[in-house]
Amino acid sequence: MSTALLVTYMWPPSGGVGVGRVLKLAKYLPSHGVTPSVLTVENPSVPVQDDSMLKDVPPGIEVLRARTFEPSYATKQAAWQSTTKALGAQPASNGASIKKRVMGKATAVARHLLVPDPQLLWQPHAQRALVKRLRSSQADDVVFMTAPPFSIFMGAPTVRALGKSAVVLDYRDEWITIRSHFEMMGSLGKILGGPLEHAMLRSAHMVTTATDAFRENLLSHFPFLDPGRVVTIENGFDTDDFPTTLPEPQTDKFRITYAGSVLVQNSPRGLLGAVRRLHAREPELAKLLQVDFIGRIVDTELPHFEGTERLGVRRLGFVPKDAVVPALASSHMVLCLLDEMPGAERIYPAKIFELLYLDRPCLTLAPEGALTSLVRQTKLGQVIAPRDEEAIANELERSLRQFKAGTFPKRAGAVGVERFDRRVIAGRFADVFKAATELARR
């Protein structure tokens, strides 16, 4: 058996979609001849925890934990919310507001200086733990680093300098897109981000990306990369997450469910606008509609939900992962959302693979790109531009009329989903690890 150290910020009991890729990898690598260990953060600064994911942690796996200097997520969130106000023109009226403005400005400065991300504050202890591990008799054959946060990649030169282990860098998202569009990053981050990514990639023996489009974009930005060393390995589904018996949709309401965080990049504004249009033109038919959102909703998206409760839209908040699948299964239709913004054409939301296995008809609201191609190839459901309210409203009306007539299909009839099984995907990672190890020994 070969050995692999998986370096990840996201690990149970931290919750969220970012945990699944590395957790399922650790679960299934042993069946492909690789013994995994994990290096993760001891006191993660994350928005949600999900103890239900602990059941997938392999029994007996070695988990090393290193502390971060980050404040708690609640403290960070409060500081971030004060940043915009602090940079505005409102005069301070008392001592408390002055303190708030100072804290906001200090936070803004910190966000600009912490390049590439605030999790940089984990690196001092993480690097110390990494060096200790690789200098010991337990040095692993491969060190696998999965990002974001992309500051994790800063351990790659350390591993190469010690000269014992192969380095594999894993892109769950694109660094260039995140630093350009999804983060409040200042000029320093934009100046240093490209050269920093270049330097980290120079230290990698192999690179994996979550979509083909990520791979192509990476190769175009960094032409020194050998295309043979950059491999696409998608996310997937674990059949163990699906109970043998799942609930069927009920007949009182036509239920549509979205599961996952609502962020700027997957804003439901087009869908919610379509719901309003449908209620305006077909009020009696629209009464049959219920739209559930499972997961946290960031503050910037909350205004889009104003007044929608009376239209059958429910915000259920975060629920444990083991409760998500039954909720999706009891829906007539599931949602996959990706809004119009730079880089969206190269993204697969990780949830799409679970929706593929579940096989409920899926309404995908996304710009043309990797996601829409996948949905069409697998015949999972309808695809509509994310802000085309009229087209979305028409599709909702068509589905509601089918539901009312008893002809709405219970299954999508998706095809070609087997290749996204997490067991298969772990085998593809094992092949990459083997190739990286051979390269490191040259």
How large is the average pLDDT for residues 26-51?
96
- Output the pLDDT for position 112: 66
Residues 63, 87: one domain? no
Residues 6, 102: one domain? no
Residues 32, 171: one domain? yes
The domain of 61 spans: 2-71+116-236+421-440
- Output the pLDDT for position 47: 87
Q: What pTM was computed for the model?
A: 0.90
Residues 13, 120: one domain? yes
Give per-residue pLDDT as tens, 368-381. 999 999 999 999 99
Give per-residue pLDDT as tens, 356-409. 999 999 999 999 999 999 999 999 999 999 999 999 999 999 999 999 999 999
Name residues whose C-beta falls within 8 Å of residue 365's C-beta, 6 or more positions apart in sequence. 268, 270, 271, 335, 336, 337, 338, 384, 385, 386, 392
- Structural domain total, the chain: 3
Residues 184, 317: one domain? no
pLDDT at 78 over 80: no
End-to-end CA distance of the chain: 20
Residues 328, 254: one domain? yes
d(C-alpha 247, C-alpha 250), whole Å:
9
The CATH number given to whatever domain includes residue 258 is 3.40.50.2000
Residue 422 carries which side chain, given as an amino acid letter? Answer: R
Residues 98, 222: one domain? no
Strand boundaries in 368-412, DSSP class E: 381-384
Give per-residue pLDDT as tens, 173-217. 999 887 666 544 566 777 888 999 999 999 999 999 999 999 999
pLDDT greater at residue 180 or residue 410 = 410
- Output the pLDDT for position 83: 58
How large is the average pLDDT for residues 308-316?
98
Token pair for residue 85? 């106000």
Label residues 421-437 b or e (16+ Cβ within 10 Å = b).
bbeebbbbbbebbbbbb
